[in-house]
Amino acid sequence: MPHAILLAHCPDQPGLVRALASFISENRGNIIQFDQHVDSLEGEFFMRAEWDLEKFVIPRPEIPIFIRALAEPRKMTWSLHFTDERHRLALFVSKDSHCLYDLLSRHESGELDADIPLVVSNHEILRSAAERFGIPFHRMEVTKENKASAEAQQRALMKEHGVDTIVLARYMQVLSDNFACDWANRIINIHHSFLPAFPGAKPYHNAHARGVKIIGSTSHYVTGDLDEGPIIEQDVIRVTHNHTVADLIRQGRDLEKIVLSRAVNWHVQRRVMSFRNRTVIFT
């Protein structure tokens, strides 16, 4: 039996928890999880509710009507999801295989509960990696000159395959502002530094040059501003003077794949809400 998941946020005001909990309970939905957060600085209320539909008296197609009635007077932004609607992910990659293999093996074992209809790459090199796992691989060269048309093709592919979210799994091309904007909060990137330290190119080289004692990795939603989007997850690992740049790159890979997969899993499970460049993560 599927669950419903409601994500909602609105200006903080009295009675919000009661209103939402009452709506679910009075209609005989059994609350599985109910998380709420008030950002007192922004005066914004955030909520994630997950409930069992088994005895829920409102028919599934009509639930949005009721929620709209709750949401409008409260100026609430919301989205409704059902656990039997599988998320569809496109993986964008370049040459590095570690994040791709990590996501594909999680997908195969069922840990990543989403569909992966395709892998897109600007290089040929990872074709066999994708195809080995039975995922169609689309090579699409991207140059300064053809960038606009390549993106048009990418958008067409996304549409054709019904993609919900794009995962940049070490995709080394910068997307256009327009693309990022149209897909706001639906493109997840992994950046190989502890942002906001070392944005842009060659973060491990820069970390080594600065002599940091800890390196990190950051997964974030992509916005028009490079490496400036809302952070979903970060993690770090200790390094020493003994580590060369090559060591940092190698150790960083473990961080990158773990951090990206956590972010993708939370996103797919509808646990992430984004608001003014910050995220609320209901885990």
Using CB under 8 A as the binding rule, the residues of this chain from 126 to 155 that contact a second copy are 132-133
CA–CA distance, 143 with 242 (Å, rounded to integer): 38
Q: Residue 78 or residue 275: which is nearer to a second copy going by CB?
A: 275
Structural tokens at position 275: 């608001």
User: What's the Cα-to-Cα distance from 210 to each of 79, 186, 217, 273, rounded to whole Å?
Assistant: 43, 33, 16, 34
Q: Which stretch binds a second copy (CB under 8 A): 71-79, 81-89, 147-155, 228-236?
A: 228-236
- The count of residues interacting with a second copy (CB under 8 A) is 71
The HSE-up count of residue 237 (CA atoms within 13 Å, CB side) is 18
Identify whether the C-beta of residue 101 lies closer than 8 Å to the C-beta of residue 89: no
Q: What is the DSSP letter of 240?
A: -
Residues 16-45 touching a second copy, rule: CB under 8 A, are 16-18, 21-22, 24-26, 28, 30-34, 36-41
Q: What is the DSSP letter of 202?
A: -
Q: Which of 177, 227, 235, 254 is catalytic?
A: 227
User: Is residue 182 a contact residue for a second copy (CB under 8 A)?
Assistant: no
Structural tokens at position 66: 């009721």
227 is catalytic: yes
User: Is residue 109 a contact residue for a second copy (CB under 8 A)?
Assistant: yes
User: Is residue 279 a contact residue for a second copy (CB under 8 A)?
Assistant: yes
Q: Which stretch binds a second copy (CB under 8 A): 1-9, 146-154, 165-173, 250-258?
A: 250-258
Which residues are catalytically annotated? 227
